[in-house]
Amino acid sequence: MDAPISGGAAKAASGQMTMMTSARPAAYERANEVLDAMAGKVYRLGDRAGAGSKVKIVNQLLAGVHIAAAAEAMALGLREGVAPEALYEVITHSAGQQLDVREPHAPRAGSRLHALVGGRHLR
């Protein structure tokens, strides 16, 4: 069985992780109760180990692209003189919204977005 997870520390603490699993039916029979207890959502993606890890890789690639695009977009706005608070407010209430931007701490020091734009102009 493979069973990679996604969701971060907050979802782990609340038992709301997403789990991408694949296993033989007999393994699922033995593990279903434990899987369901560990995660808020368990995806059963096939009957051979490996499919869960493949889906996790795809998910991580998409997350990375979104983070990089958000950092570049925010950096562009900052270079053009737009206030970070204004960028955050508009983006979190319009079509530009996505995971790393809508985190309440995104425009502040220490966030992933802050690190990706090299901390420029973000406080």
66 and 25 in a common domain: no
* Residue bearing tokens 């020091």: 109
- Concerning whether 56 is annotated as a catalytic residue, the answer is yes
Would residue 54 count as lying in a domain? Answer: no
Domain range enclosing 106: 60-116
64 and 27 assigned to the same domain: no
Residue from 11, 41, 54, 56 carrying the catalytic annotation: 56
Tokens coding 60: 């991580």
pLDDT digits (tens, 9 = 90+) for 20-44: 999 999 999 999 999 999 999 999 9
Please report whether residue 122 resides in a domain. no
Q: What tokens were used for 67?
A: 């983070």
Is 40 a member of any domain? Answer: yes
Average pLDDT, the chain: 83
Q: Are residues 37 and 73 in the same domain?
A: no
> What are the b/e assignments for 56-70, b being 16+ CB within 10 Å?
beeeeeeeeeebeeb
Domain shared by 64 and 34, yes or no: no
pTM score above 0.75? no
